[in-house]
Amino acid sequence: MKIDGDDYSIDYDSESGITRFSGSLRLNGTDEYAPIAGFLDEAHADKSGGPSWDLTALEFLNSSGINMMYKFIIGLRKEPGVTMMVIGSSKIAWQAKSLANMKKFLPSLELNIQ
Amino acid sequence: MQQIGDYQAKLTHDSLPLTLHLDRAHLNRTWPHVGKTADYLIEYLTADHTEPYRDESVSSAQYIANELLENAIKYATGTRICASSGVLDHQWIMLVSHQADPGHRDNLQKFLDQLNDNTAEEVMMERILSNAQAPESSGSGLGLLTVMADHQARLGWRMYVDPDLGESIDTMARISIGKSRNGSDPSNHNENVL
């Protein structure tokens, strides 16, 4: 499965179960992020064992996009025992600054900052 | 005129002023230009310096520029948005000006009231949780909060009546950027201060 925009691409590999984000995501508010939120839900439903996101090629994400990711992660709290892995990059500012917040909402989240 | 937070209008002489003229009937066409404008402001900032600024600072400046311009597009009532960016005394400063209705001013005041008794990080965490419980909400309200809590920006506002444009608002953000000659950073403010 894949979803593409002018400046971004999100690719779910059903074999590895990893969703890879790349490019720059600066959509306008929750409405424009709805298709991506739906895509992430579909990928989660397809993969057993919890979602895995590779964000290392996602160079820019605006606050609406960060909010979408937080919403997804908070939603996982309704699934006891679910595990989630997020791979990020310390070289990308929004990731270095904001990814650690994800663990505050889902302490079991495995955060791998490279 | 009302001034709130850590507002200072002074910018360096080599700051870059830009003006965006909005076509309100086709704002969806304008939106992609917001990011490109923010990127250009930061490219200009980094284009001509013998001692490069820290990558982390530049990336934070890019994030902040984008959020301030996105907010301006969302809340400006007129058709003109003015943005300036520059460095002064080891601080990157961005100023965004536009017309605003009194309702926006009141909402801003409520936002600031929340920060009187709580840190920006505390308010941001509460906002994220409430957003997750309100799927119908179209806005996250996280822009300024992430700028303050995650990127340690100092923010200030000036509200005034422009003789030509009427009710207007200036939003200013600044962060520490670059290094002094001895390698230390004399203006390294990490606290969440308005």
- Which CATH number belongs to the domain containing residue B8 in this structure? 3.30.565
pLDDT tens for each residue of B14-51: 788 899 988 878 877 888 889 999 999 998 888 866 66
pLDDT tens for each residue of A21-33: 999 999 999 999 9
- Which CATH number belongs to the domain containing residue A108 in this structure? 3.30.750.24
Q: What is the per-residue burial (b if ≥16 Cβ within 10 Å, else e) of B29-48?
A: ebbeebbebbbebbeebeee
Q: Are strands B16-21 and B80-88 parallel, antiparallel or unpaired?
A: antiparallel
Residue B106 in domain: no
> Would you state the pLDDT for residue B138?
65
Of B28, B63, B124, the CB nearest to A94: B63
Question: What single-letter amino acid sits at B182?
Answer: N
pLDDT tens for each residue of B152-180: 999 999 999 988 888 999 999 999 987 53
Give the number of beta-carbon pairs within 8 Å between A and B: 82
> Would you state the pLDDT for residue B186?
39
Is B121's pLDDT higher than 60? yes
Query: Residue B9's domain spans which residues?
Result: 2-101+150-176
Contact between B98 and B74 under an 8 Å Cβ cutoff? The reply is no
Q: Which residues of chain A have pLDDT under 70?
A: none
* CB-CB under 8 Å, A60 with B35: yes
Query: Residue A22's domain spans which residues?
Result: 2-113
As for how many domains chain A has, the answer is 1
Of A62, A92, A104, the CB nearest to B66: A62
B138: contact with A, CB 8 A cutoff: yes
Mean pLDDT of B127-148: 86
B28: contact with A, CB 8 A cutoff: yes
* CB-CB under 8 Å, B138 with A29: yes
> Would you state the pLDDT for residue B49?
64
Taking the CA of residue A30 and the nearest CA in chain B, the distance in Å comes to: 5
Helices within chain B (DSSP H only): 27-47, 55-75, 102-117, 120-132, 143-149
H or E element, residue A56: strand A52-61
Residue B126 in domain: no
> Would you state the pLDDT for residue B185?
43
Residue scoring higher pLDDT (B170 or B141) = B170
As for how many domains chain B has, the answer is 1
